[in-house]
Structure 1
Amino acid sequence: MDLLVNIDVPDLAAAEAFYCGAFGLTVTRRFGEGGVELSGLPVKLYLLVKAAGSLGAGQDRRRYERHWTPVHFDLVTEDLEATLARALAAGARLDAQPTTHSWGRIALLADPFGNGFCLLQFLGRGYDEIAPAL
């Protein structure tokens, strides 16, 4: 099996500029005007154009203001401050200042389309600091 990450966006050019600028991703394929494949992470990221108000899952309509979703992605970095600065410069919105925990540091953000994501910097043994051996 492979894992693909799809992100609905209302503006492909703006989304491409954000994700490439914030995280150093590169375009590896284009799907006409409806989508783009980005590489540079362990999984391919697909930006898919979907109009605001169009029907998503169930009867929920797509909206691009900041919203909560039970699924989001975390990007692990070795330098949280530098990655955070780059993401903010590209247009990310900071939801909460970075906090430090026994496992590492985390910053909560949203892309320009309201999709949440986190930046993580592991410290010490990372999640092993809080996970007992199985």
Structure 2
Amino acid sequence: MQLLINIDVDDLARAEAFYRDAFGLAAARRFGDGGLEMTGAPVPFYLLRKEAGSEGAAGSSRNYRRHWSPIHLDLVVEDLDAALARATAAGARTEGEVREAAWGRIVQLADPFGHGWCLLQFLGRGYDEIAT
């Protein structure tokens, strides 16, 4: 099995700049003006240009305002403070304060396209600190 991450955006150039500057990804392959593969994470990210208002899942229309989904992505980083500074400088918005837990630290973000992200910094044994 292989995992791919597909992210709908309305502005491919802006998305490329954000994901490069915020998360350190690099452009790898372009698919005309409709898609871009970005690498630098354990799985590739595919930025897919989809116009706001175009048809999304189940007949809904796409919008790039902040939206909620039960699925989101967590990025594990070595230094949460540095990663947060880089992401917000690139245009991410924080959604709450950095929180601490037995396994590490976490902060919630939204990218410029309304998608939710979390930055995690594992401490000690990471999730093994709370595994039962």
> TM-score, length-normalised on structure 2?
0.98
Per the alignment, residue 83 of structure 1 pairs with 83
For 1:4 and 1:109, the matched residues in 2 are separated by 21
Deviating more after overlay: 9-18 vs 123-132: 123-132
What amino acid is aligned across from residue 20 of structure 2 in structure 1?
C
Shift of 1:14: 0.3
> Partner residue of 1:45?
45
User: One-letter code of the match for 1:115?
Assistant: H
- Quote how far apart the aligned CAs of 1:86 are: 0.1
Aligned length: 132
Q: Does 1:71 align with 2:78?
A: no
What residue is the counterpart of 2:61 in the other structure? 61
- The alignment partner of 1:46 has SS state of strand
Structure 1 position 119 matched with structure 2 position 119: yes
Alignment partners' CA distance in 2, 1:115 and 1:25: 17
**Structure 1 CA distance for aligned equivalents of residues 108 and 60 of structure 2:** 24
> Which residue of structure 2 lines up, in the alignment, with residue 130 of structure 1?
130
The one-letter amino acid of 1:62's match is R
Tell me the equivalent position of 1:26. Answer: 26
Q: Distance in 1 between matches of 2:25 and 2:46?
A: 11
- CA–CA distance in structure 1, aligned partners of residues 100 and 59 of structure 2: 38
Within 2, Cα distance between the matches of 1:63 and 1:98?
Answer: 28
Q: Measure the CA separation in 1 of the matches of 2:24 and 2:130.
A: 31
Shift of 1:53: 1.1
- Residue number in structure 2 paired with 1:96: 96
Unaligned runs of 5+ in 1: none
Aligned Cα RMSD in Å?
Answer: 0.6
Q: What residue identity is the alignment partner of 1:114?
A: G
CA distance in 2, matches of 1:58, 1:77: 35
Q: Distance in 1 between matches of 2:31 and 2:111?
A: 22
Runs of 4+ in 1 over 4 A off after TM superposition: none
Q: Distance in 1 between matches of 2:70 and 2:16?
A: 24
Q: Percent identity?
A: 65
Q: Residue in 2 aligned with 1:108?
A: 108
The whole-number CA distance in structure 2 between the counterparts of 1:12 and 1:93 is: 19
